Copies of this chain bind each other. A is one copy, B any other.
Amino acid sequence: MIDIQKQRDYRNIPIDKVGIKELRYPIKVLDKCNGLQSTVARINMYVDLPHQAKGTHMSRFVEMLHTFRSQVSLESLTYILEDMKKTLEAQSSHIEITFPYFVEKLSPVTGSHGLMDYTCSIMGSSRSPDKSRDLMVRVGVPITSVCPCSKEISEFGAHNQRGEVLVSTRFKKFIWIEDIIDLVEEAASCDVFSVLKREDEKYVTEHAYQNPKFVEDVVRDVAKVLMEDENITWFSVSAENFESIHNHSAYAYIEKDRLSVNKT
């Protein structure tokens, strides 16, 4: 049977990325407390295509993933990236895996059990011949934010709302999703829970009111911690508040690499 994809292409245009996108697949990811965690991911997998090749072989991406899915970690990601280049005769490979990640979290006063969900991504690229690799972890953390301006100018109360902080990081050694979550929740007016009894609700209300934060404050406080972490070589952090007084969001964003961190 003829292999159209293998035919020669004469347009002389190499393609940066070609592959599969938005594949939904069950995976198991490394879990700091429980070893492995079952979740469901959206996955993109690409390789480059040299100018003389007409097409890539799409089915091989899913076949590789099918094997790989039982243990997704930063370490296993480096293997699949090499495997993708080899199997698809490519010079570079890219993978993006996005999934909800769950952490058991006790409520702050009554210690009630519940799971909090965080939207996480692990992404990697590899380039031949030097095998230079680029790994990145992104974590989305829902938070509570109380507006400092509203608190200051109002006789009572202060508008507050749910927000989402997105932290993307590159790093020297391994990094736990749980550790990124912790530092973001520390920088919020208050963190967010799935179960809160009344005693807990009193605590989070008062704790948040005593820690008013603009989106500007949140990204600065997260950035401060990440800048001081020797393991982090690059990061970006955004905070988006789903404003309770508007139908749009307030937003702030900081991006840093180690070089500029040193110079600051």
Chain A contact residues, CB within 8 Å of chain B: 1-5, 9, 11-26, 37-40, 44, 46, 49, 54-56, 58-59, 62-63, 66, 100, 102, 112-117, 142, 144-150, 152-162, 190, 192-199, 201-202, 204-206, 208-209, 214-217, 219-221, 223-224, 227, 240, 242-255, 264
Write out the residue numbers on chain B whose beta carbons fall within 8 Å of the beta carbon of A17: 251-253
Write out the residue numbers on chain B whose beta carbons fall within 8 Å of the beta carbon of A206: 154-157
Name the residue on B nearest A241 (C-beta).
B21
A-B contacts besides A5-B214, A23-B247, A26-B38, 11 pairs, CB < 8 Å: A2-B153, A15-B254, A24-B248, A25-B102, A26-B37, A38-B39, A54-B216, A154-B206, A162-B243, A162-B244, A192-B244
Chain B nearest CB: distance from A53 CB in Å?
8
Chain B nearest CB: distance from A13 CB in Å?
5
Chain B nearest CB: distance from A201 CB in Å?
6
Q: How far is the CA of A217 from the CA of B40 in the complex (A)?
A: 32
Out of B26, B146, B245, B250, which one reaches A192, CB within 8 Å?
Answer: B245
Q: How far is the CA of A192 from the CA of B240 in the complex (A)?
A: 18
Write out the residue numbers on chain B whose beta carbons fall within 8 Å of the beta carbon of A202: 1, 150, 153-154
Write out the residue numbers on chain B whose beta carbons fall within 8 Å of the beta carbon of A243: 162
Q: How far is the CA of A204 from the CA of B59 in the complex (A)?
A: 14
A39 touches B26 (CB 8 A): yes
Q: How far is the CA of A223 from the CA of B214 in the complex (A)?
A: 36
Out of B66, B194, B204, B246, which one reaches A159, CB within 8 Å?
Answer: B204
Most buried by B among A11, A16, A219, A221: A16
A16 touches B255 (CB 8 A): yes
Out of B3, B22, B66, B148, which one reaches A249, CB within 8 Å?
Answer: B22
Out of B18, B196, B220, B254, which one reaches A251, CB within 8 Å?
Answer: B18
Chain B nearest CB: distance from A23 CB in Å?
4
Out of B13, B156, B221, which one reaches A224, CB within 8 Å?
Answer: B13
Name the residue on B nearest A146 (C-beta).
B157
B157 touches A194 (CB 8 A): no
B157 touches A220 (CB 8 A): no
Write out the residue numbers on chain B whose beta carbons fall within 8 Å of the beta carbon of A252: 15, 17-18, 49
B194 touches A247 (CB 8 A): yes
Write out the residue numbers on chain B whose beta carbons fall within 8 Å of the beta carbon of A14: 254
